Amino acid sequence: MYPDFSAGRRQQGVSLPGLLTWSAVVVLVAILGMRLVPAYIEFAAVKRVLVAIASDPELRTAGTQAIRQAFDKRASVDAIRSVSGSDVIIKKQDEQVVLNVSYTVIKPLFANLSLQIDFDAASNR
């Protein structure tokens, strides 16, 4: 006779409802990632531009208009569209330029559901 392998063992694996549930979760996470990652990449570019302008020795003595123009030039190179030079707050402290910008990005997720993200970047943080 043949041995009985089914005694005491349960079948293991993924059921169809479990597979569909996890697939839906993976799809939602992928949609969130595809929508949010570009906003955070742009925020990193804004921060990098602010730090570069604040540490530029030629712009330490420049006026606010020259600093705003420098930001606009660098922003066009880095494809920054959420912030312009007029949004930058410029403060001069102890022969040092401190640049700050706060902005909001609204990303549509699906249907009528959107996500609002508030960013605050500064050259000294």
Q: Torsion angle, CA of 36/55/63/124, rounded to 10 degrees?
A: 60
Evaluate whether 80 touches 46 at the Cβ level (below 8 Å). Answer: yes
Sign of CA dihedral 54, 56, 60, 63: negative
Evaluate whether 13 touches 57 at the Cβ level (below 8 Å). Answer: no
Note down pLDDT in tens along the chain; length 125 residues: 666 666 656 777 888 998 999 999 999 899 889 989 999 999 999 999 999 999 988 888 888 899 999 999 999 999 999 999 999 999 987 778 899 999 999 998 878 989 999 999 998 86
| Alpha-carbon span 80 to 114, nearest angstrom | 21
Q: Which residue has the tokens 């609204």?
A: 106
Q: Residue 58's pLDDT is what?
A: 87
pTM above 0.75, yes or no: yes
Evaluate whether 32 touches 26 at the Cβ level (below 8 Å). Answer: no
Q: Residue 13's pLDDT is what?
A: 81
Evaluate whether 51 touches 44 at the Cβ level (below 8 Å). Answer: no
Q: Residue 9's pLDDT is what?
A: 65
What are the structure tokens assigned to 87, written together? 């949004």
From the list 114, 106, 101, 107, the residue with the least C-alpha distance to 74 is: 101
